[in-house]
């Protein structure tokens, strides 16, 4: 059964355009236990929304999980994980944070409740609603 996720990244650190140019990336550097556990729950083929945080604050693309959790090679110590993500396509129109906040069907989306969480699970309905806002 497919799962749905959202990952956040500052576009000045690693933008959607850079992700697309690279063709895939290892999603490393997560140092939050809840986010790490979410990475470990991701399965091959799961759908992922790519969100630009800080600058832009918008969902800008769709990716998929192409390698399940493995040891994060950037972690000098500790039990941290990473996954491989591959871009699928940009959303037709970026879905801004204000649109998400103003959509009643997204009132409980983790993006609005856990502001510092960089990897979060979405329901299929939340995922589809965000994409609908981008059409």
> In angstroms, rounded to a whole number, what is the distance separating the alpha carbons of residues 7 and 41?
13
- Of 33, 35, 44, residue with least CA distance to 9: 35
Where the chain has pLDDT below 70, the residues are none
Residue 54, by phi and psi: left (phi above 0), alpha (psi -120 to 50) or beta? left
Structural domains present in the chain: 4-133 (3.10.590.10)
How much is the pLDDT for 115?
A: 87
Query: Residue-wise over 58-96: b if at least 16 C-beta within 10 A, else e?
Result: bbbbbbbbeebbeebeebeeeebbbbbbbbeebbeebbb
> In angstroms, rounded to a whole number, what is the distance separating the alpha carbons of residues 32 and 84?
18
Are the beta carbons of 103 and 129 closer than 8 angstroms?
yes
How much is the pLDDT for 17?
A: 97
pTM of this structure: 0.96
Residue 89, by phi and psi: left (phi above 0), alpha (psi -120 to 50) or beta? beta
How much is the pLDDT for 135?
A: 87
How much is the pLDDT for 107?
A: 97
| Residue 44 DSSP label | T
């Amino acid at each position: 059964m497919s799962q749905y996720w959202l990952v956040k990244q500052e576009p000045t650190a690693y933008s959607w355009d850079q992700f697309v140019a690279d063709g895939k990336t290892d999603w490393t550097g997560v140092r939050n236990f809840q986010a790490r556990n979410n990475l470990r729950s991701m399965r091959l083929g799961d759908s992922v929304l790519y969100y630009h945080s800080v600058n832009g604050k918008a969902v800008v693309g769709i990716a998929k999980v192409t390698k399940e959790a493995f040891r994060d090679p950037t972690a000098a110590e500790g039990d941290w994980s990473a996954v491989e993500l591959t871009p699928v396509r940009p959303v037709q129109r970026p879905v801004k944070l204000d649109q998400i906040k103003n959509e009643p069907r997204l009132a409980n989306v983790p993006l609005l409740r856990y502001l510092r969480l960089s990897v979060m699970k979405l329901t299929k309905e939340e995922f589809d609603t965000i994409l609908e806002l981008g059409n």
